[in-house]
Amino acid sequence: MTHAGGGAGRAAAMRLAAAGALVAIHHTGDEQAADDVVRAIGEGGGCAFALGAELGGYGNVQRLFADLEAELTDRTGRADLDILVNSADDVDGVAPEHATPEEFDRLVAAGAKAPYFVIQRALRSLADGGRVINISRGAVEPVEPKAVAYAMAKGAVETLARHYAVALAPRGITVNSVAPGTTDDGERVGTVVAFLAGDDAGGITGAVFDADGSPVHGRPAG
């Protein structure tokens, strides 16, 4: 699970661990926050471990998954990945009239480039019947004036998810997105993620779930 040291990512990690999953808690530098999540999961009877890696480039993603697969093999005897939760990083917005090319590139890299290559690399080890769940902290709808570039990037990720849903349907892999929107209720996001990771959601793919309670859009799997 990427960027799982806090917020919606932490809530989702806690819920999946409570359901019996071995959870990899990824961080990009805040090792203490990731260790706190691992500790909290362990105190609740679950299993988790932390992995640190920047996700700004293709090579970083490759190294992250090499470390992940080695850790999974040591712990379980296999490198297969059953669930990928692709949680967005915390990114500060910038007013559209003030955005520089460098700031725009930073926002798009965090919001779209990193998730793209994470999903791409995960497909090497993602088991048939697996789950890909994207969590976006940035709202795609026009509710935050400073989130224009980031919202564009997250819109691209939702489009990516819909296309992957079709491409991966023959393998029984579902691809869905959860959009917290303006809510800070991580518990609600965790509940939606846990549902999408479970057997009852096996017939849902290409959907965007608004954790604020808006209607769900998507298509049946298969």
DSSP-assigned states of every residue in the chain: -BT-SSHHHHHHHHHHHHTT-EEEEEESS-HHHHHHHHHHHHHTT-EEEEEE---SSHHHHHHHHHHHHHHHHHHHS---EEEEEEEPPP-----TTT--HHHHHHHHIIIIIHHHHHHHHHTTTEEEEEEEEEE-SS-SSS--GGGHHHHHHHHHHHHHHHHHHHHHGGGT-EEEEEE-TT---HHHHHHHHHHHHSGGGTTEEEEEEETTSPPPEEEE--
The residue ranges of every structural domain in the chain are 7-220
- Any residues with CB less than 8 A from the CB of 131 and at least 6 apart, and which? 82, 83, 84, 173, 174, 176, 196, 197, 201
Between CA 60 and CA 109 the distance in angstroms is 13
From the list 81, 59, 84, the residue with the least C-alpha distance to 9 is 84
Question: Which residues are known to be catalytic?
Answer: 150
Domain 7-220 in CATH: superfamily? NAD(P)-binding Rossmann-like Domain (3.40.50.720)
pLDDT of residue 220: 46
Average pLDDT by consecutive 10-residue portion of the chain (222 residues)? Answer: 77 93 91 94 96 85 94 95 83 71 81 86 94 74 60 79 93 90 68 92 90 53 49
Global pTM exceeds 0.85: yes
Segment 148-158, tens digit of pLDDT: 777 777 778 88
How far apart CA 42 and CA 18 sit, in angstroms, is 10
